[in-house]
Structure formats: C-alpha cells, structure tokens
Amino acid sequence: MRVLVTGGAGFIGGEITSQLAARGDQVVVLDSLVAQDAPPEHLPASAELVVGDLGDESAVRRAVEGVDAVCHQAARVGLGVDFDDVTAYVADNDGGTANLLRALWRRSFTGRLVVASSMVVYGEGRYRCPVHGDVRAGARRRDDLDAGRFEPPCPTCGVPLDWAPVREDAPLDPRNVYAATKVHTEHLSFLYGRETGAAVCALRYHNVYGPRMPRDTPYAGVASIFRSAFEAGRAPRVFEDGAQTRDFVHVRDVARANLLALDSDWAGAANIASGHPHTVGDMARALAAGFPDAPAPVTTGEYRLGDVRHVVATPDLATRALGFTAETDFAEGMRAFAHDPLRQHRPE
C-alpha cells in the first residue's frame, strides 16, 4: 500500500511513518520541516519526502499523486499562547486540511482517509450530578478559578460534579481555538467522504507522550513541559490543584491505532486512549521518578481559562471497530519518557 502521511516527520506522524515502513508499505511524507533544520534521523530511508506545508499547493499535489491511502497528521497543536494565535491555527489546520482535501478531490481520490483529531473536541468531558444525573458542565468562570473552585458545578443545583468516561456520541463543545479547528477538520473530512464515497476515520487522540515529543515550546504537551523542567533542575509547575484528569497514551500505541484504521474500512470517529486515566499530578509524580535529584513538582493554583478540568474517554469503540487496545503501561511509559529523546524546537 502506498500511504501519504502528512506531518510524517513529526512526533506522531514520524512514529506512524516508521511503523508503516517497517511492515513494508510505501510511505510518502509531506512535512514542512519547519521545526527542524533537516530531515530527522528517524525518518526511514525508504520514505519519499516531499518538503512543504499544506498551504503549498504544488507540494500537496505531488504528495497525493498515486497514493492508496492518506493519514493526515499535520497540524498546529496545543493550546497556544493566547487568542492572537487564532489566524495561525485556522490557516494551518482549517486551511491546510481544505487544501489537502481539494488536492484529493482533483485527483478523484476515493481511498482510505484517516485524520488526526483530539479529545479537545469534547470540551469539558462527561459529568454526573448525584442529584440530576448526566449533565453538561458550563463554561469556566474566572471568579471560581481565582477562588480555587476548580471542579465544575452542576448547572441546576451547584453541587460539584463527578467525571465519567465520554463516548464518541457526546456533543462536540470546543473551548479553545485549537479545539475548534479540530472539529472543523473532522467536519471537512467527513464531508469529503460523503461527497466521494471515501471511507473516513477520525481518531480522537488523548494526551499523547513518548519519544521525539517537541520540547521548549508553548505548544508542547504537558508531559514534555514537565520533562524539560526536571532536566533543567526546576520543579514543574502543576496548574490548578493537580487533580485535572486525563488519559495519557503512548505514541507507539497511537501510531498502531492509525495502522489499524488504515487497514480497516470502518468509518466514523473513535477515541484513542489507554482506558486508564490519571491526574496531571499523578503524571508529574510518575515522571519525577526518573529524576531523583530534581525538585518535587509544585502545585501552583494557576490556571488557563481555555483548559478543561476533566476529559476522560472510553476506548471501547476503537476496540470493537478497529481492534485497538493500548499496550504501554503508564508507570513504565513515564519512566522511559524521562530519558527518551525529545525533538528540539526551532523557532518558526
């Protein structure tokens, strides 16, 4: 199979590229290399590299030529710095996806399309009130957060809510710019599938970590930010009270989920998660085990309004539809991540 991987020299895309090449697929990588000076050493020699971003119509046109399937990973990720990032996110994620889909349309592509989505499309996850059952958490309010009231209250009675695993049929409720662009990526891709008959699968990643994660950038994941702090001999700053709940899933598992999706004809959106949630504080402490001489994590009470309190998913649909089950143990994965190679960020 000849597979195009957009962003195939990056963190998740690079692992997908390596796994595809290892099993004998022909891989075309479209990557801007914007965060690095040269093709990375981990890129398989057999991969065909097209250097360009998704805004480069000529590069996109060359990349899609003759491919049987597309694995769309290229995106501007993370929460960003502030709303001033909005145009960059929309240009890269919305506009980039549109350019890719237009190039596929002009090629009359009807093969398999797997797109990277994210847990952030749900906004706040699923919540239960002991009195009113399942409810939707409202928008976070600065006065609550300033007062250290981090748990979302029931919109009816005001009692703090308990989280519950979110399913793929939950309403989409993006609460920051990045999240909004991932919703749009899904919508555009599924629309392409309806127009062409192509089978489209969107994988909603949870908190991905592992080798070659980018470091020292405000767009990096929290695990990478904590890792950089430990390496510098600083105490990681854990926002809120550290009890925010997430699902940390290893990049090798995420890449394997993409291969399973490429091999399947199942269409729809599926959560890609370990199924074993942990708090951000748990993650900081697990990572600290790899740095015995570093200061302990510090819980600061700081917050970002665009963050969500709890978002934990059930991966049951991915198991049923794609045969996916995460294999990397959290504690073992974090111990390894303490010393995994990270990708140095080069300013754009």
Question: What would the pLDDT profile of 68-112 be if each residue is shown by its tens digit?
Answer: 999 999 999 876 667 888 999 999 999 999 999 999 999 999 999
- pLDDT score recorded for residue 343: 80
Q: Which two tokens stand for residue 5?
A: 């991987």
Share of the chain above pLDDT 70, in %: 95
DSSP string, 57-93: HHHHHHHHTT-SEEEE-----S--SSGGGHHHHIIII
Q: What's the fold here for domain 2-123+166-214+248-275+314-329?
A: Rossmann fold (3.40.50)
Domain with CATH 3.40.50.720 in the chain: 2-123+166-214+248-275+314-329
pLDDT at 64: 98
209 beta partners: 250
Tokens of residue 31, six digits: 């990557």
The values of phi and psi at residue 95, to 5°, are: -65, -40
Question: Alpha carbon of 164 to those of 17, 119, 126, 266, 290: distances in Å?
Answer: 34, 14, 5, 26, 31
Query: Between helices 251-263 and 11-22, what is the axis angle to 10°?
Result: 60
Q: Which residues of the chain have pLDDT under 50?
A: 347-348
Read off the amino acid at residue 85.
D
The confidence score (pLDDT) of residue 79 equals 67
Backbone angles phi, psi at 3, to 5 degrees: -120, 130
Q: Contact, 54 vs 95, CB < 8 A?
A: yes
| DSSP string across 246-277 | E-EEEHHHHHHHHHHHHH----EEEEE--S--
Predicted local confidence at residue 348, as pLDDT? 45
- Comparing C-alpha atoms, which of 74, 108, 92, 89 is closest to residue 4? 74
95 DSSP assignment: I
The pLDDT, as a whole number, for residue 216 is 65
